[in-house]
Amino acid sequence: DYGIYRKSDELVDPTTGRLLGHEITHVADAKLLNLGDPSTLMITHNKMEALAGDILLASSQGSIVHQYIPRIPELNGEGRVISLVNAISQSGRSQVIVLNMGKESNIQSGDVLAIETAGKRVIDERAGFGHKKVRMPNLRTGVVMDFKTFDKVSYALVMESTRPVRKNDIITGI
């Protein structure tokens, strides 16, 4: 059994600009009929038309985890939300987001993390002569749990949110 996928969005770290990987979109499922050069596949289920250049990957039967043990990881610094799965500009509770943290950042499945929105810059009118810009504290907006970890990125489920979750929101420890 195989899956047919199409490369879609680039996953870029917003702080370093480093390319972390690519998201792929599931196009179809297929079965191998004849092995050879070329091999023959039969599409058994499709979501969209398969095109030249699509990626063929063996199905990963048995690698799905159905139980997670929540833990609070020890973080070195903070991460960012780099993509919203099936959302355009904001996400929320029970939705999936992509983080710029993975195994290289000591993140693993079951890790529970906080989401924060960066504090806004405001003008302090009481700062003496001249107005001084100050940054308000970050605002905690939710909690996520990592469920799929790769080397540089991970996928997390938004377990709780009091405000919309957006790209570039901050990921910190609880």
pLDDT tens for 87-143 read 889 999 999 999 999 999 999 999 999 999 999 988 887 766 667 888 899 999 999
Across the chain, mean pLDDT equals 91
pLDDT tens for 63-95 read 667 789 999 998 878 999 999 998 889 999 999
In percent, the amount of the chain with pLDDT more than 90 equals 76
Confidence of residue 22 (pLDDT cuts 50, 70, 90): very high
Confidence of residue 144 (pLDDT cuts 50, 70, 90): very high
How far apart, in whole angstroms, are the C-alpha atoms of residue 168 and residue 25?
22
How far apart, in whole angstroms, are the C-alpha atoms of residue 63 and residue 60?
6
The predicted structure's pLDDT at residue 66: 76
